[in-house]
Amino acid sequence: MQDLNFQNNILNILIVFGGLQGLILSTVVFFYPDRDKASNNLLAIFIFTAVILLLAPILQIQLGWKHVWIFHCTKFITISALYLYIKSLSEKVSLKRTLKHFSFAAAYIPIALHYVSYIQNKYQVTYEYAGGQDIYDQILSITNLLYIGFYIFLYIKAYKLHQERVLQNFSSEQKLGLNWIKQLIFGFVGIIIVSYTLYAFVLANPEFSTKGCLINVAAITVFLYFVTIKGKISPEIYKLRKIVGETAEADGNSGKERIPSRSKKGLKTNNPQLLTIAEKITEALRDEEFFRNENVSIRELAEQIGEQPYLVSQAINAVVGKTFFELINEERINLAKRLLVSDKYNHLSLVGIGFEAGFNSKTTFNTTFKKITGMTPSEFRRTESVMEV
């Protein structure tokens, strides 16, 4: 009995402490600088609704099952808010679009009310209901899983689109939100898996309900702490959204800019303006110092040749048949190959060569080098040495 009371006390402390932490975080994020207001608002909504789910167990203890179950409708806002937040990192998310994704939560309220009334009358529930006793429970669980599965698909799709936009506009995938997005997706999906696994286990073993709830709350709390630490994203992530927004505005597509297919290599155009810009790009890239800057973007290239970023992007794709990312990294690899066989740089390690060529990590250098040349930097240096002998 003492052990059970101790577990309940720890559970209550964890829930309250985690809830307060989440509420403070959501407030801080909501009032963060206006520069990233749209994204911050969506992240604040995600955190706040996650906190409501975190507080649900202790509210159920205090208020009873029938008064708290309705709060579970907020999980649909939590799930869709994460998707909208990911989208907002590279494009404008309109109020209409936001309400469209949140509408399922509103539509679910009458279903939740009917469910509570149905269970209360059928099983004479007055205060506590464990769940899983009725076919209604299974139907709602399956519906929830389908909804979650659909949004996981949207998460992955949004991530790939964000990555595509990064490759179109930047020479590096670092500091542009890609890792942050992956961490959010994997973290949130992990929480969902833990919750449903524990729910199934507790249904089969009711005596472990308190421990199961404790583990679930601890997992959600840790995730909220993770968001607390990582939530203040570097302003560099919003460089992409600004460039995409300018491109969309220039194309008149209201935020839905066309992203050229990366599979159409060698695509040619007779557009004289794009051909002229392509020549300027080729001339600019003769300056090694330009692409040796590890964080160079298409905006900087556009400024150097005196053209609009969206026109530079079109020229690279239509005339050169590559993305900006591919173009810059091929130039870096060509430079690295020259450095690897140069006596002037034979004192440098392979990592040093990579940094000299403009790469910001050993892994990125090795991966890109092998992708373009078919061999690692060390294999290339060894092969060239043998050929010279």
Q: Is 175 helix (H, G, I), strand (E, B) or coil?
A: coil
**Could you state, in order of their start, the residue ranges of all structural domains in the chain?**
2-234, 241-388
Asked if 332 and 358 count as a contact pair (C-beta separation under 8 A), the reply is yes
Phi, psi of 341 (to 5 degrees): -105, 5
Determine the Cα–Cα distance for residues 159 and 177; give it in Å rounded to an integer: 10
Cβ-based neighbour number of residue 5 at 10 Å: 10
Separation of alpha carbons 268 and 99, rounded Å: 42
Over its length of 389 residues, how does the chain's per-residue pLDDT go in tens digits? 555 566 566 656 666 666 676 677 677 667 765 557 788 888 889 888 888 777 776 666 667 777 777 677 888 999 999 999 999 888 889 999 999 999 999 999 899 889 888 888 888 887 777 677 789 888 888 898 899 999 999 999 999 998 888 887 777 766 667 888 888 899 999 988 888 888 778 777 777 777 777 777 778 878 877 776 666 555 556 666 666 665 555 555 444 444 444 444 445 667 788 888 989 998 888 887 788 887 788 888 898 899 888 888 888 888 888 888 889 999 999 999 999 888 888 888 888 898 888 888 888 889 899 989 999 998 888 887 655 54
With respect to CATH, is domain 2-234 assigned 3.40.50.150? no
Report the sign of the C-alpha dihedral through residues 158, 164, 170, 174, in that order: positive
Residue 282 is encoded by which pair of tokens? 């080729």
Torsions phi, psi of 170, nearest 5?
A: -135, 155
Phi, psi of 365 (to 5 degrees): -60, -50
CATH 1.10.287.1260 fits 241-388, yes or no: no
**Whole-angstrom Cα distance, residue 331 to residue 288?**
8
Summarize pLDDT for 64-121 with one digit per residue, the tens. Answer: 777 777 677 888 999 999 999 999 888 889 999 999 999 999 999 899 889 888 888 8
The predicted pLDDT at position 158 comes to 94
Identify each DSSP E strand in 201-341 by its residue range.
Answer: none
The first and second tokens of residue 153, run together, are 């698909």
Residue 284 has which token pair? 């600019």
Q: pTM higher than 0.85, yes or no?
A: no
3-state SS assignment for residue 297 = strand
44, two tokens: 């604040």
Over the stretch 212-262, which tens digit does the pLDDT of each residue have? 777 777 788 788 777 766 665 555 566 666 666 655 555 554 444 444 444
Q: What is the pLDDT of residue 101?
A: 95
Q: Could you give the count of Cα atoms lying within 13 Å of 66 in the half-sphere of its Cβ?
A: 14
